[in-house]
């Protein structure tokens, strides 16, 4: 036995029996200065990495042009900070002021506060988030130190400071850095529960649990786990009286934080939504016949809402589509239930397929790939000199498994030696159990939905905690020159690393996505030529991508090169004939070239495939109006209004027709005024072309004074877009306001 490696020796190295704790306590004062110096060096390293990365991303076009979810967060935050809610170009109105929160609102308010204090600075947001990332390193150090000692705390802080995915998300208008802050605060407070139950600690834990829920509501599934764990602690300590007190404080404070959000949803929308209303649709996205576990696909989206893809700005259109399908107006909570029922129906009807989907999502969750949700993470990492060579999830996961195995060995061996648990080791066991339960609960709560790297971020600090424990243990073996023990744990780590790097479920991502987003950012900034170059790069990577051809055609359209744009749209349709967005846009390009009949053919085919395509109806109205087919134009504009009641352009177009047409069957000045006023309401009366139509409507209805007043306002908004100030006899000269054609 003397020549065999003794597992029980690891207890003295890692478990900290009392004799080692006494020596450690004696040297605590002398080591405090060096500990502070090491922690300072770690934070400086993290600061340098973040500074270098910030200097890189400031040059990117999307630094000031948020995309996808980040764009929705930016819109919400700017509205909250300024009180003004202009809808971004080429976006649908998300109707955020009259509907329940679609996404958890915590990040909206954080971002709004930073905007309010910094004058809406994109740079300030990144600086604040990166500073908070360093605070997270300190919180992780405190947790690691309180559980496993100073060395483990410092190792954990070091891992947190350089972990690349943390740094990346700190540079995005997304919530991971705040989620990590909340969960580390929560765990540090729960760690204090293992020392003593107090009412204030219960309240503090509840506050951070509630805050966490405002960023990731699935943390609420962890609440009963905390209660069971606290009951178990109370039994072990024979302190059940305090258990009731602490649980009451915890629950009351948790839901006190959430209550204002619930109340806001009810008062604004007359709809009971606890935090946000996207649970149903995200559940369905992860459980349907077309789900691939990573993309937000909705079967039949074209027929439901008239779009190929959707985002947060499009959700009201989806709600209206569901309302049409059901046959009555639906609240957002009802739409959420509608999609949840569809997901449950799919699971019940296809249990084996649903089980395979769940297994696939589980493997993707723990797999080495960083699944994108907004940006292509692999592309972004490769583009960054700072982040390119920093190891990622497989390293953290493999060290976590090795460290956790060390901890289990150390805690199991003590009863074999018939040694009682010390207070410190007991706390290690209790908190390690809670952390493992958190990881498991969070993982299970993620399985019903699509998988994304962003959504597994909250568990990473705790994987790094166990990894730091394992690294510390290996270091102790090396210091003692116990090469057998060192080799054993090195082999264990290599084994787990080999498992962690294996992609059990094939996943390649979309290598062109990074070029798409950068190109879209260039377009938003008005830089068309760089955008076209990015789209050409995407085509070099995926030449058979219909979407790449489609996006490039859109950029060429913006440049005014309609002929070449049409060719790329034709390419896209050859690759994907059912890509209605490409066919619809092809109609616009042909219309701009004067090929009105060909444009009509394409828009008619769009409507044949999807009768709910409101924009196709609107453009068909334009084309028929140009051809003098006013009845057809009026019919399509009326249908567009029915399908998209919050889109201003069809109201404006139909109002112009009813105000200026000579056909007495179609001329309706009173209705023209109503439609024109509605168009102006939808655009906050800040688009001169809408005001021009309102002037014509007032003139046709004989309301001269209002026509003159509106014309003055239109002229102030755009002095070159209107004629000279009209005379009082405006109804005698309506042609002063006649446009060549209705506005799109």
Of 25 and 122, more confident: 122
Number of domains in the chain: 4
372 domain residue, yes or no: no
The answer on pLDDT for 375 being more than 90 is no
Which residues 6+ apart lie within 8 Å of 677 measured at CB?
694, 697
149 contact partners, CB below 8 Å, separation of at least 6: 16, 24, 472
Q: What is the pTM of this model?
A: 0.84
Q: What does the pLDDT read at residue 197?
A: 82
State the Cα–Cα distance between residues 680 and 644, nearest whole angstrom: 15
Residue 513: predicted pLDDT: 83
Mean pLDDT to the nearest integer, 506-531? 86
Give percent helix, percent strand, percent coil of the chain, each to the nearest 5.
70, 0, 30
Which residues are within 8 A (CB) of 598 and not within 5 positions of it... i.e. 6 or more apart? Answer: 587, 590
Q: For residue 734, give the CATH number of its domain.
A: 1.25.40
269 and 284 both lie in a single domain:
no
State what percent of residues in the chain have pLDDT above 70: 91
Structure tokens at 421: 């648990």
Closest by CA to 699, choosing from 688, 712, 710, is: 710
Which of 240-244, 249-253, 296-300 comes out lowest in average pLDDT? 240-244
- With cut-offs at 50, 70 and 90, classify the pLDDT of residue 494: very high
Dist CA 619 CA 640 (whole Å): 9
Both 113 and 28 in one domain: the answer is yes
Identify the band that residue 267 occupies on the pLDDT scale cut at 50, 70 and 90: very high
Please tell me the distance from the alpha carbon of residue 445 to that of residue 219, in angstroms, as a whole number. 8
Residues 86-96 have pLDDT tens digits of 888 778 889 99
Clarify whether residues 242 and 306 are in a common domain.
no
Across 55-64, 422-431, 662-671, which has the greatest mean pLDDT? 55-64
Domain-embedded: residue 377? no
112 and 214 part of one domain: yes
Residue 489 in any domain: the answer is: yes
Q: Are residues 248 and 140 in the same domain?
A: yes
Domain enclosing residue 25, as ranges: 9-273+385-500
Domain finish residue from 453, 481, 500: 500
Distance CA 440, CA 463 (A): 12
Cβ-proximal residues to 298 (8 Å cutoff; 6+ apart), any chain:
281, 284, 285, 288, 304, 310, 318
User: Distance (Å, rounded) from C-alpha 300 to C-alpha 617?
Assistant: 19
Same domain, 129 and 242: yes
What is the structure's pLDDT at 347? 96
pLDDT of amino acid 415: 52
Looking at residue 719, what is its pLDDT?
56
DSSP codes joined into one string, 517-541: HHHHHHHHTT-HHHHHHHHHHHHHH
Which residues, 6+ apart, have CB-to-CB distance to 630 below 8 Å?
624, 657, 661, 663, 666
Which pLDDT band holds residue 427 (cuts at 50, 70, 90)?
Answer: confident
733 pLDDT higher than 60: no
Question: Could you tell me which residue, 432 or 743, shows the higher pLDDT?
Answer: 432
Residue 127 counted as domain residue: yes
* 489, 563: one domain: no
Residue 632, in any domain of the structure: no
Last residue of a domain, one of 500, 534, 561: 500
Q: Are residues 101 and 189 in the same domain?
A: yes
Q: Is residue 634 part of a domain?
A: no
Over 50: is that where the pLDDT of 110 sits?
Answer: yes
Tokens of 711: 């014309």
CA 623 to CA 643: how far, in whole Å?
A: 19
pLDDT at 684 over 80: no
Please tell me the predicted confidence (pLDDT) of residue 222.
96
> How does 506-527 read in b/e, with b if 16+ C-beta sit within 10 Å?
ebebbebbbbbbbbbbbbbeee
**254 falls within a domain:** yes
Q: Are residues 203 and 127 in the same domain?
A: yes
Q: Which of 554, 585, 612 is the last residue of a domain?
A: 612
Instruction: Provide CB contacts within 8 A for 119, sequence distance 6+.
Output: none
Rounded to the nearest 5 degrees, what angle is found at the Cα of 722, between the Cα atoms of 679 and 669? 45
Spatial contact of 108 and 341, defined as CB atoms under 8 Å apart: no
Residue 666 has pLDDT above 90, yes or no: no
User: Strand, coil or helix: what is 438?
Assistant: helix
Task: Give domain status of residue 625, yes or no.
Answer: no
- Average pLDDT score over the chain: 87
Number of Cβ within 10 Å of residue 709's Cβ equals: 13
Tell me the average pLDDT across 14-37.
55
**pLDDT recorded at residue 276:** 95
Q: How much is the average pLDDT of 568-593?
A: 92
Q: What is the CATH number of the domain that holds 520?
A: 1.25.40.10
| pLDDT confidence of residue 436 | 96
- Answer whether 136's CB lies under 8 Å from 165's CB: no
Question: Can you tell me the mean pLDDT for 682-703?
Answer: 86
Q: Which residue has the tokens 């042609």?
A: 735
Tens digits of per-residue pLDDT, 144-190?
999 999 999 999 999 999 999 999 999 999 999 999 999 999 999 99
Question: Do 191 and 238 fall within a single domain?
Answer: yes
The lowest-confidence range among 284-298, 419-433, 520-534 is 419-433
Q: Which residue has the higher pLDDT, 311 or 170?
A: 170
347 HSE (CA, 13 A, CB side) = 16
Considering 180-189, 502-511, 519-528, 707-716, the range whose residues carry the highest mean pLDDT is 180-189
742 pLDDT tier (thresholds 50, 70, 90) = very low
The pLDDT value recorded for residue 5 is 40
Q: 55 and 76 in one domain?
A: yes
Q: Are residues 443 and 390 in the same domain?
A: yes
Cβ proximity of 88 and 75 under 8 Å = yes
């Amino acid at each position: 036995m003397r020549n065999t490696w003794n597992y029980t020796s690891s207890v003295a190295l890692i478990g900290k029996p009392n004799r080692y704790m006494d020596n450690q306590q004696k040297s605590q004062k002398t080591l405090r200065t060096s500990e502070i110096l090491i922690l300072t060096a770690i934070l400086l390293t993290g600061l340098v990495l973040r500074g270098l990365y910030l200097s890189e991303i400031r040059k990117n076009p999307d630094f000031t042009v948020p995309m996808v979810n980040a764009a929705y967060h930016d819109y919400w935050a700017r509205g909250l900070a300024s009180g003004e809610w202009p809808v971004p170009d080429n976006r649908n109105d998300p109707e955020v002021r009259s509907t329940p929160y679609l996404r958890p609102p915590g990040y909206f308010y954080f971002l709004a506060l930073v905007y309010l204090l910094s004058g809406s600075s994109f740079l300030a947001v990144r600086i604040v988030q990166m500073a908070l990332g360093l605070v997270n390193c300190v919180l992780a150090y405190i947790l690691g130190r309180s559980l496993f000692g100073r060395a483990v705390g410092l190792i954990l802080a070091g891992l947190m400071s350089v972990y690349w995915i943390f740094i990346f998300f700190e540079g995005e208008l997304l919530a991971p850095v705040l989620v990590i802050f909340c969960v580390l605060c929560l765990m540090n407070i729960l760690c204090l529960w293992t020392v003593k139950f107090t009412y204030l600690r219960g309240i503090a834990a509840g506050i951070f649990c509630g805050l966490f829920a405002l960023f990731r509501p699935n943390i609420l599934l962890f609440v009963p786990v905390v209660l069971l764990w606290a009951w178990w602690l109370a039994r072990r300590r024979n302190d059940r009286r305090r258990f009731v007190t602490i649980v009451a404080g915890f629950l009351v404070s948790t839901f006190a934080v959430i209550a204002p959000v619930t109340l806001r949803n009810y008062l604004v929308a007359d709809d009971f939504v606890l935090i946000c209303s996207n649970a149903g649709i995200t559940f369905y996205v992860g459980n349907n016949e077309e789900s691939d576990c990573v993309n937000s696909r909705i079967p039949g989206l074209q027929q439901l809402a008239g779009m190929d893809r959707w985002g947060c700005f499009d959700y009201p259109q989806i709600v209206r589509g569901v309302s049409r399908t059901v046959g009555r107006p639906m609240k957002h909570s009802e739409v959420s239930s509608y999609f949840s029922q569809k997901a449950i129906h799919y699971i019940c009807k296809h249990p084996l397929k649903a089980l395979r989907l769940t297994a696939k999502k589980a493997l993707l969750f723990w797999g080495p790939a960083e699944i994108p949700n907004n940006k292509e993470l692999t592309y972004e990492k490769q583009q960054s000199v700072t982040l390119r060579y920093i190891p990622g999830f497989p390293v953290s996961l493999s060290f976590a498994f090795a460290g956790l195995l060390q901890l289990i060995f150390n805690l199991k061996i003590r009863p074999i030696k018939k040694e009682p648990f010390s207070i410190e080791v007991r706390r290690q066991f209790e908190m390690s159990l809670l952390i493992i339960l958190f990881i498991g609960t969070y993982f299970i709560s993620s399985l019903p939905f699509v998988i994304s790297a962003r959504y597994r971020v909250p568990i990473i600090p705790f994987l790094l905690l166990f990894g730091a424990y394992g690294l510390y243990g290996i270091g102790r073996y090396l210091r003692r020159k116990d090469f057998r023990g060192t080799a054993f744990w090195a082999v264990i780590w290599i084994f787990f690393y080999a498992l962690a790097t294996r992609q059990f479920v094939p996943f390649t991502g979309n290598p062109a996505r990074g070029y798409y987003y950068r190109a879209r950012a260039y377009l938003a900034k008005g830089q068309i030529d760089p955008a076209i170059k990015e789209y050409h790069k995407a085509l070099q990577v995926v030449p058979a991508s219909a979407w790449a051809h489609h996006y490039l055609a859109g950029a060429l359209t913006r440049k005014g090169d309609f002929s070449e744009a049409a060719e790329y749209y034709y390419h896209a349709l050859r690759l994907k004939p059912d890509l209605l967005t490409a066919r619809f846009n092809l109609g616009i390009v042909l219309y701009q070239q004067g090929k009105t009949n060909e444009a009509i053919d394409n828009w008619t085919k769009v409507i044949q495939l999807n009768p709910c395509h409101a924009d196709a109806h609107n453009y068909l109205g334009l084309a028929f109006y140009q051809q003098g087919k006013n009845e057809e134009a009026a019919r399509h504009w009326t249908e567009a209004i029915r399908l998209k009641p919050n889109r201003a352009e069809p109201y404006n177009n139909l109002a112009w027709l009813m105000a200026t047409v000579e056909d007495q069957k179609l001329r309706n000045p009173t209705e023209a005024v109503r439609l024109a006023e509605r168009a102006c309401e939808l655009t906050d009366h800040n688009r001169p072309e809408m005001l021009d139509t309102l002037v014509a409507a007032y003139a046709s209805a004989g309301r001269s004074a209002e026509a003159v007043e509106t014309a003055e306002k239109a002229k102030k908004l755009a002095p070159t877009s209107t004629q000279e100030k009209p005379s009082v006899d405006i109804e005698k000269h309506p042609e002063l306001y006649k446009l060549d054609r209705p506005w799109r």
